[in-house]
Amino acid sequence: MTFERFIARRFMPRRGADSGFSGPLSAIAVAGIALGVVVMVMAVSILRGFQEDITQKVVGFGSHLTVTAYDAGGTYTEVPVSLDSALTAAVRAVPGVRHVQAFATKGGMVKTEEQIYGILLRGLAADYDTVFYHDCLTAGRLPAGANEVLVSSTIAAKLKLAVGDKMRTYFWQGDSYRPRAFSISGIYNTDLTEMDELYVIGSLATVQRLNGWDSTMAGGYEVLVDDYRRLGSIASAVTALLPIELRLTTITEAHPALFSWLDLLNTNITLILAIMCLVSAVAIVSALLIMIFEKSATIGLLKALGAGNRSVRRIFLMKATGLILWGIAIGDAVALALSMAQRHWQLVRLDPESYSMSHVPVLVDPWIYVAVSAGTLAVCLLALLLPTAGISRISPATTMKIER
């Protein structure tokens, strides 16, 4: 054990009646750092969880990348593309691509005895990745045939429909319309209002028949990727494979306003981190200044015995670092406990119509804890350089004179 570490562990701060202000202030400093870490970790975890939850819901309805004809024809009418097995195989071979699936959409209206409601039938291919819809099921099951559909809880509530009911729908084709009676196999809910109010989920074969297409035609392809952070590079690689009559749209290009809003949340994260790091730094600097003031006589004695300014500074930095680490450890533990409690019991609820989710989402990511802890430690240690610099101005002769 080094000389500095031995001294740091022995005399600062002492417990008991003679501990002065340094003992309580050290406890306050640890509590302040712990509180700052809790606020920072929870803020980042909640905002990142919110961003990830919204992104997953939007991607669930529209995938990461969408390949359609250049003349797409608008939202409710599509220009078909040919289902080219060679093209889909080439796209699947692109590093980072997880799945390629065909889809088509068809606009229509649902008629009940009391009202008429506009919907967008989304037809999914047999190999479509339906994990998202399965996770959002609130009743029933996923469609198993061409005459079955999945409706949202929003549409079901507005039209007073339930699992097993018949849903009479009309689809326009040129100057005429085609009636179709679907059986509701299940009900889903994503809390993403603008999607839940619009989409009814069915089969690709149904949309093909309604549009008069054969089995080799679809509205487009959807491409799922493994890593959302590599979306730009994967999109460029897929675009290079497409023929001139096809175009690729990323999820961020399809919903620019939504993703711009999600990016703005990063500003809130930065502001919260800056404020709480400042609070933590002020707490530990205040505690260290009181320690130096109370131990000025001891500092003078150590210098008289031959200890240099660097050694004395290291003593105080070691003690302050211990307090910082205690505060960080306590803060991380409390933040993890709160995060797991929220994920398990969903204690804090939200209004789905306002926030597009029913509870506060929390992303438990170890890297968030590592980044916040390392950043807090670095900021606090930098802040300690100023008060420890004052140690070199303490004179042994002056402190001994004060003691007499």
127 is in which domain, residue-wise?
Answer: 71-244
Clarify whether residues 194 and 168 are in a common domain: yes
Clarify whether residues 146 and 191 are in a common domain: yes
Clarify whether residues 193 and 271 are in a common domain: no
Tell me the pLDDT of the chain (404 aa) as tens digits.
576 777 666 655 555 544 555 668 788 889 999 999 999 999 999 999 999 999 999 999 889 999 999 875 555 568 899 999 999 999 999 999 999 999 999 999 999 988 999 999 999 999 999 999 999 999 999 999 889 999 999 999 999 999 999 999 999 877 788 899 999 999 999 999 889 999 999 999 999 999 989 999 999 999 999 999 999 999 999 999 999 999 999 999 999 988 998 888 888 888 889 999 988 888 888 888 877 777 777 777 776 666 777 777 888 888 888 889 999 999 999 999 999 999 999 999 998 888 888 899 999 999 999 999 999 999 999 988 877 776 656 666 565 554 44
Clarify whether residues 207 and 347 are in a common domain: no
76 bridge partner residues: none
Quick one: which H or E segment has residue 387? helix 366-389
Clarify whether residues 33 and 157 are in a common domain: no
The residue type found at 232 is G
CB within 8 Å of 72: residues ≥ 6 apart: 78, 79
Whether residue 16 is contained in a domain is answered as: yes
Clarify whether residues 111 and 159 are in a common domain: yes
Q: Are strands 116-124 and 199-203 parallel, antiparallel or unpaired?
A: parallel
pLDDT number for residue 26: 80
| pLDDT tens readout for residues 74-125 | 555 688 999 999 999 999 999 999 999 999 999 999 999 889 999 999 999 9
Whether residue 214 is contained in a domain is answered as: yes
Strands (DSSP E) found in 245-330: 246-250
Which residue, among 324, 395, 381, has the nearest Cα to 36 in the 3D structure?
324
Whether residue 266 is contained in a domain is answered as: yes
Number of structural domains (the chain) is: 2
* Alpha-carbon distance values, 126 to 140, 164, 216, 225, 374 (Å): 19, 22, 13, 19, 48
Which residue, among 145, 183, 143, has the nearest Cα to 162 in the 3D structure?
183
Q: Which residue has the tokens 């290009």?
A: 253
CB 183 within 8 A of CB 147: yes
Counting other chains too, the contacts that 308-315 makes at CB distance below 8 Å and 24 or more residues apart are 309/391, 309/392, 311/3, 311/4, 312/391, 313/388, 313/389, 313/391, 313/392, 314/4, 315/4, 315/7, 315/8, 315/12
Looking at 212, 244, 276, the residue that finishes a domain is 244
Clarify whether residues 52 and 93 are in a common domain: no
Phi, psi of 393 (to 5 degrees): -90, -10
Whether residue 220 is contained in a domain is answered as: yes
DSSP state of 227: -
Which residue, among 146, 145, 144, 187, has the nearest Cα to 165 in the 3D structure?
187
Whether residue 65 is contained in a domain is answered as: no
CB 63 within 8 A of CB 222: yes
Looking at 183, 213, 244, the residue that finishes a domain is 244
Looking at 184, 216, 244, the residue that finishes a domain is 244
Whether residue 328 is contained in a domain is answered as: yes
Neighbouring CB atoms inside 10 A of 366's CB total 8
Clarify whether residues 29 and 83 are in a common domain: no
Whether residue 136 is contained in a domain is answered as: yes
Whether residue 62 is contained in a domain is answered as: no
pLDDT number for residue 1: 55
Clarify whether residues 88 and 219 are in a common domain: yes
**Three-class secondary structure of residue 159 per DSSP:** helix
Clarify whether residues 203 and 281 are in a common domain: no
Clarify whether residues 142 and 212 are in a common domain: yes
Clarify whether residues 100 and 150 are in a common domain: yes
